Amino acid sequence: MKKNSPKSKAQSPKPSRVPAKKTAPPLLILISAPSGAGKTTLCDLLLASQPNLTRAITCTTRPPRPGEQDGIDYHFFTAEEFLKRLHAGNFLEHATVYGNSYGILKSELLGKLRAGKDVLLNVDVQGAATIREQSATELELKRALVTVFLTPPSFAVLEQRLRKRGADAEAVIQKRLAVARQEAAQWKNFDYLLISGDKQEDLRRALAIIESEKMRSARSAAPEI
């Protein structure tokens, strides 16, 4: 008589495969505003509140100031190196200010976006127009770009802010206000218009813009069901 073969151990069911969580592709967030509208303050608040958000490091030909570090505060180039990169088409946007050249490298933005980081650009209205135009031919940048125009609720408020700083003479204030009127007319060229309130309200609204852009169907993928 054959011995009964030992019973095989019950096999535990294989754990169900949990699909990896899909994250939205990174954004290139451009914020522009008239002088004195508060865009630098807003950018600083965004950077402090969003660990995955990093600023684009600008290239410049001006000498480093005390405490500034190459690759952290700016990319410091000689005039010859800057011109060489300019002729090679390396810059997404560039300008000359008080005899010094400034520019944003395409590779700077693409490298951070490909690493999964959201990138913040703080530029003037003219720079924003150039970046929109240049991004139209760079698919990765075009897909990631979100533009926001920040403006005070009125020019009376803007004038009040400029005077409160106490840093400019009357003629300079009037010149800034005249330029601001020209810049404000460009708001329709931006994806979003953010009318400035207080600092925390501006931050809340900017974060809402970022969150909504992350959920756009063009940037999102439906979960596997």
Number of domain units in the chain: 1
34 located within any domain? yes
For residue 67, what is the domain's CATH number?
3.40.50.300
Q: Which pLDDT score is estimated for 21?
A: 56
pTM summary value: 0.81
Averaged pLDDT, 194-203: 93
Q: What is the pLDDT of residues 153-183, one digit of tens each?
A: 887 887 787 787 766 788 878 887 888 888 8
Query: Does a structural domain hold residue 1?
Result: no
**The predicted structure's pLDDT at residue 154:** 80
CB 28, CB 113: distance < 8 Å:
yes
pLDDT, tens only, 70-124? 999 999 999 999 999 999 999 999 999 889 999 999 999 999 999 999 999 999 9
Amino acid type, 96: T
In a domain, 2, yes or no: no
Instruction: Report pLDDT for 74.
Output: 95
Nearest C-alpha neighbor of 28 from the set 222, 218, 214, 224? 214
The verdict on residue 123 lying in a domain is yes
* pLDDT band (50, 70, 90) for residue 17: low
Q: pLDDT digits over 35-74, tens only?
A: 778 899 999 999 999 999 999 999 999 999 999 999 999 9
The closest alpha carbon to 121, from 174, 177, 54, belongs to 54
- d(CA 179, CA 140) in angstroms, rounded, equals 32
pLDDT band, residue 15 (cuts 50/70/90)? low
Q: Which domain holds residue 194?
A: 28-214
Q: Are residues 134 and 104 in contact, defined by beta-carbon separation less than 8 angstroms?
A: no
Position 225 in a domain: no
Contact 219, 213 (CB under 8 A): yes
Q: What is the mean pLDDT of residues 131-140?
A: 93
Residue 6 lies in a domain: no
> What pLDDT sits at residue 117?
97
The fraction of the chain above a pLDDT of 70, given in percent, is 88
- Give pLDDT, residue 97: 85
Residue 73 is predicted with a pLDDT of 93
Q: Is residue 47 part of a domain?
A: yes
pLDDT at 213 over 90: yes
Question: Does 36 reside within a domain?
Answer: yes
pLDDT at 153: 82
Q: Please state whether 107 falls in left (phi above 0), alpha (psi between -120 and 50) or beta.
A: alpha
